[in-house]
Amino acid sequence: MRKYIRLFQLFFKTSYLLFLAHRFDFIMGSVANILWTASQVITLQFLSTKIVAFQNWGFYDLILLLALSQIYYYGAFILYENSLSKLFDKIKTGDFDRVLSKPVNVKFISSFDSISVAQIFSVFGSCVPMTIVGLLGSTHTSLSNYILAVFILTSGFISMYFLSLGLSGLVFVFEDIQSFKDFMVSSSTEFSRLPLDIFPPSIRATMTYVIPLAFTTYFPVLMLKGTLPNYIIPLCLVMPVVFYLFQKLTWTIGLKHYSGVG
Partner 1 sequence: METIIQTSHLSKSFQQYKKPAGIKESFKSLFHRKYFSVDAVKDINLEIKDGEFVGFIGPNGAGKTTTLKMLAGLLYPSGGDIQVMGKTPFKREHSFLKDYALVMGQKSQLMWDLPPIETLELNKEIYEISDKKYQENLNVLSDLLKIKDVLEIPVRKLSLGQRMKCELATALIHQPKLLFLDEPTIGLDVVAQKNIRNFLKKYNEINHTTIILTSHYMDDVSQLCNRIVIISHGSLIYDGSLKNLTEKYLAQKFLKFIFKEKVLKKDLSQFGKIEKYSEDGLSVTLIVDRKNHLDIAAKALKSLPIDDLDIAEISLEEIIRHIFTSQ
The residue ranges that bind partner 1 (CB under 8 A) are: 3, 6-7, 10, 14, 17-18, 21, 93-95, 97-98, 100-104, 106, 256, 258-260, 262
Q: Taking the complex as a whole, how short is the minimal distance between the CB of residue 22 and partner 1, in angstroms?
A: 9
Write the CB contacts of 101 (distance below 8 Å, at least 6 apart in sequence): none
Q: Taking the complex as a whole, how short is the minimal distance between the CB of residue 169 and partner 1, in angstroms?
A: 16
Nearer residue to partner 1 within complex by CB, 202 or 259:
259
Distances (CA, A) of 219 to 76, 136, 192, 223, 228: 18, 18, 10, 6, 7
* DSSP summary character for residue 19: H
Residue 185: name the closest of 205, 170, 165, 209 by CA. 165
Q: Taking the complex as a whole, how short is the minimal distance between the CB of residue 258 and partner 1, in angstroms?
A: 7
Cα separation, 97 vs 85, whole angstroms: 17
Q: Taking the complex as a whole, how short is the minimal distance between the CB of residue 100 and partner 1, in angstroms?
A: 5
Write the CB contacts of 148 (distance below 8 Å, at least 6 apart in sequence): 223, 228, 233
Nearer residue to partner 1 within complex by CB, 98 or 205:
98
Nearer residue to partner 1 within complex by CB, 21 or 52:
21
Nearer residue to partner 1 within complex by CB, 106 or 198:
106
Q: Taking the complex as a whole, how short is the minimal distance between the CB of residue 109 and partner 1, in angstroms?
A: 9
Instruction: Decide: 85 and 178 in contact? Cβ < 8 Å.
Output: yes
Instruction: Decide: 223 and 152 in contact? Cβ < 8 Å.
Output: yes
Nearer residue to partner 1 within complex by CB, 17 or 27:
17
